[in-house]
Amino acid sequence: MIRTAPVAHDGPGLPVDLDEAVHRCLVAGFDGTASVPSALKQLIDRGLGGVILFTRNVRDADQVRKLTDDLRALRPDLLVGIDNEGGGIGHLVSAGAPDGPGNFALGVVDDTELTARCADALAGHLASLGITASYAPVADLQHRPDNPIVRTRSFGADAELVARHLRAWITATEARGIASCAKHFPGHGGTVTDSHHDMAVDPRSHDELRPDLEPFRAAVAAGVPMLMSAHVVFPALDPHRPATLSRRILGDLLRHDIGFDGVLVTDALEMKAIADRYGEAAGARIALAAGADQVIVAVPELELTLACRDAVLGALHAGHLSEERVREAAGRVRRLAERYAAPADPRAHIGWDAGAGPEAARRAVRSRPAPRAVPGFHVVDLFPPPHPALNWGGEDLLTELRAVDPTATGTAITEEPANLSASIAGILHWAAGSPLVVATYDAGLHPWQARLRDALLARRPDAVRVSTGLPEDGDDVCSYGRGRANLRAAAEVLAGR
């Protein structure tokens, strides 16, 4: 049941200021583009710390600006955040977001000034929409070829490379008055499990984990105002709990060793690593007790946010969570809001470089020798369905190639064909007489792509191999990501532009 008013000092519940402190520790997702749900209004009235927007909240730029204005009219110190990594990870395509190349392409180019220009464009666009917090950049190192979730979201595998690009990104974002957030502490790149789907474990030793901490140290030194925790168990650091719920990792390591005093926000609690093992409500209570300052419930079911809120209130009543810890967390959120919650006049945020992302994508693609360009390619673009937690704007390689070579033909395949032989025969029939491109997206993680690619190459060894994820042996072209800028850059190479 939703309470409609704060609890009075002399009532059976918490003091008003402590009730508000509890609500400051929450970040809620919600449904809709035009109106604020009544349950969300009541949470905001009681002190809700932030909301997180997704594609479901975005129709166009004017609509988003009105929505953020309406939210902030309810509470001026409400933080409005969004995942805004660039590349294929963003939710503002229909609101005119600048094309970003994604972090891995930026790491391949390794030009920190260009990284800063890309980050500035993304942050300037957020400022123009009244969005004040960006849950980016990714600070994870991409160690393992079988890691299923970090991949091209990372700047790379080298700690110093990642650190210098983080510094450039954070500094540029700060200059626009947007709060950045380095994630996922202490690193998700050494796992073989996606924490959206199950508990991830990084079995490496303490010494082996040291390089993963360096980008986070660099982010803190650069003044990053937020960090996001990883739903990953690190037995060398805490054998019993994932980082999000670990006092050893959040308190001893992050607060005391690294010295971070900004807002520590959890990754979304509905991710199965937390939801299936602990439950979202218990996860909220344990995370705050462990040292988190805000917990995110990204799904739009506000009943789940309320359940997390009630678990925290109940823990305070029962003495399982201290007032001091909640007030400390709320104080950090309050200071963050004082610095970032009020958006600047959007007219002050014009003039970002919309060409920075496409330039970075082109420079990354052209870092490898280009195949011979010919017109009229038949493209077979293989990629899995989009990750449920990550946005996909419908980009595909054929569309981008047709924009520069209208004679191109082809198809996109997003799942294993029921009849592999029939699919191969059909593709070869339609591609007869045309040069062939076979594009895959992380085929090592999706064996059906490798089987289909290899069968086609056996019949058409002249085919050009393209990777739209991490590079693989034998690729002729690699885009280092599936964002629109990445795919267009690869298409330009194929077309000889």
**Which of the residues are catalytic?**
196, 267
Distances, alpha carbon 314 to alpha carbons 13, 246, 285, in Å: 10, 20, 9
Q: What is the 3-state secondary structure (H, E, C) of 240-268?
A: EEEHHHCHHHHHHHHHHHHCCCCEEEEEE
Q: Is 123 helix (H, G, I), strand (E, B) or coil?
A: helix
Q: What is the C-alpha separation between 107 and 360, in angstroms, rounded?
A: 10
Residue 109 near residue 337 (C-beta atoms within 8 A) = no
Q: What is the C-alpha separation between 192 and 147, in angstroms, rounded?
A: 5
Q: What is the C-alpha separation between 377 and 329, in angstroms, rounded?
A: 56
Residue 100 near residue 86 (C-beta atoms within 8 A) = yes
Cα angle value 80/85/90 (rounded, 5°)? 70
Instruction: Report the DSSP pairing between strands 263-268 and 226-229.
Output: parallel
Give me the torsion for CA of 30, 391, 194, 273, rounded to 10°: 0
Structure tokens at 195: 């924490």
Instruction: Report the DSSP pairing between strands 50-53 and 26-28.
Output: parallel
Q: Which of 313, 351, 358 is nearest to 487 (CA)?
A: 358
CB atoms within 10 A of CB 252: 15
Structure tokens at 471: 């590079």
Residue 78 near residue 50 (C-beta atoms within 8 A) = yes
Angle between helices 302-318 and 280-290 in degrees, nearest 10: 50
Alpha helices in 201-301 (DSSP H): 206-221, 247, 272-275, 280-290
Q: What is the C-alpha separation between 474 and 465, in angstroms, rounded?
A: 7
CB atoms within 10 A of CB 155: 30
Q: How far from the centroid of its chain's Cα atoms is residue 417's Cα? A: 30
